[in-house]
């Protein structure tokens, strides 16, 4: 609650301020395609975490994700240098927007 002034009886006039929190941007272009591929591969090949108590938590290996991106044509199949740069851009953007987590040899959506 924040005071915005006083009324004629000298009582506080207040208002509430809503904190929208962090704004999550929807991915576009290559990042959007990569996110769709990630979700598809997690649904098809994802493994439940052995240590997780959350039944819906699935993950895939980074190598599975990279291979699927190439198969789906999201990253270059022919040029390893280009594919590596594309991977870095894609993952950096998805992580920054809170849509991807990479830890150890695994990745998953949030």
The pLDDT tens digits for 50-84 are 776 555 578 999 999 999 999 999 998 888 899 99
For the chain, give me the number of helices (H) and strands (E)?
3, 6
The residues spanned by each domain of the chain are 27-109
DSSP classification of residue 98: T
Q: What pLDDT is recorded for position 40? A: 95
More confident: 7 or 107 = 107
Q: What pLDDT is recorded for position 27? A: 84
The pLDDT tens digits for 20-41 are 665 556 888 999 999 999 999 9
Query: pTM for the complete prediction?
Result: 0.73
Q: CB 102: neighbour CB atoms within 10 A?
A: 14
């Amino acid at each position: 609650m924040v005071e915005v002034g006083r009324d004629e009886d000298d009582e506080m006039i207040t208002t509430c301020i809503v904190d929208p929190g962090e704004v999550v941007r929807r991915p576009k272009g290559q990042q959007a395609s990569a996110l769709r591929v990630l979700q598809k591969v997690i649904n098809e090949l994802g493994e439940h975490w052995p240590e997780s108590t959350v039944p819906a938590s699935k993950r895939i290996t980074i190598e599975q994700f990279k291979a699927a991106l190439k198969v789906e044509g999201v990253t270059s199949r022919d040029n390893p240098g280009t594919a590596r740069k594309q991977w870095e851009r894609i993952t950096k953007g998805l992580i920054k927007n809170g849509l991807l987590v990479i830890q150890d040899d695994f990745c998953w959506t949030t």
